[in-house]
Amino acid sequence: VKAYDPFGAFTWSNQSNWFVTLSRSQVDSEDGILRVRIEPELPGSKYLLISYLSREENFNVKSAFQEVIYDSLIKDILPGAYEVRIYDIDMNTYTVSSEQVLYLQMKYRDENDDGYIDGTSIPAERLNICWIEDDRWVPLLEKSIDSVNKKVKNLSFKSGIFSLFGTDVREHIISN
């Protein structure tokens, strides 16, 4: 079957080579937790794709989460991670070019609006999106917190695997 996307690109479909997108340059994860936008816009037949990765099923994710267990101040907020990649219609992967920036937004839970992540003692301002580098979670720079819409926003200049973490550092524990 010849499959066309809303932008006019096409490919021959098969059971293991398909995904749905409404925009070449912005995509949401299936669970709605992660939104990624790339600027400038992707050319031609390239697309952003987000895949959820379970820590039990992916070796890199499992190894990186294992490192967090040994640091009592860093807490994982999500049960897994998200892989963000650029693909073409034939499912070939591409890297983010030097002129492109990924804008990532992850939702967090604070249903009682107390400023802390539900079920934790982590304040929302201590959240950060991290990505896997050399089997370790590395915080992204350029962080902002949208406490009204309960989102953490970061920039990334690389595609890869991302998740949400917080630091549980209480002010009364740290003294001069």
| pLDDT tops 90 at residue 155 | yes
- Average pLDDT value for the chain: 84
User: Which position has the higher pLDDT, 102 or 21?
Assistant: 102
Taking the C-alpha atoms of residue 64 and residue 155, their distance in angstroms, rounded to an integer, is 21
- What pLDDT band is residue 91 in, cutting at 50, 70 and 90? confident
Position 6 scores a pLDDT of 56
Helix (H, G, I), strand (E, B) or coil at 125: helix
- What pLDDT band is residue 160 in, cutting at 50, 70 and 90? very high
| pLDDT tops 60 at residue 176 | no
Q: Minimum mean pLDDT among 9-13, 46-50, 73-77, 156-160: which range?
A: 9-13
Position 28 scores a pLDDT of 92
Position 8 scores a pLDDT of 59
Question: Mind listing the pLDDT tens digit for each residue in 56-70?
Answer: 888 889 888 887 766
Q: What integer is the mean pLDDT of 90-110?
A: 93
List Cβ<8 Å contacts ≥24 apart for 36-44: 36/84, 36/102, 36/103, 36/104, 36/105, 37/102, 37/103, 38/86, 38/96, 38/100, 38/101, 38/102, 38/103, 39/100, 39/101, 39/103, 40/99, 40/100, 42/86, 44/9, 44/88
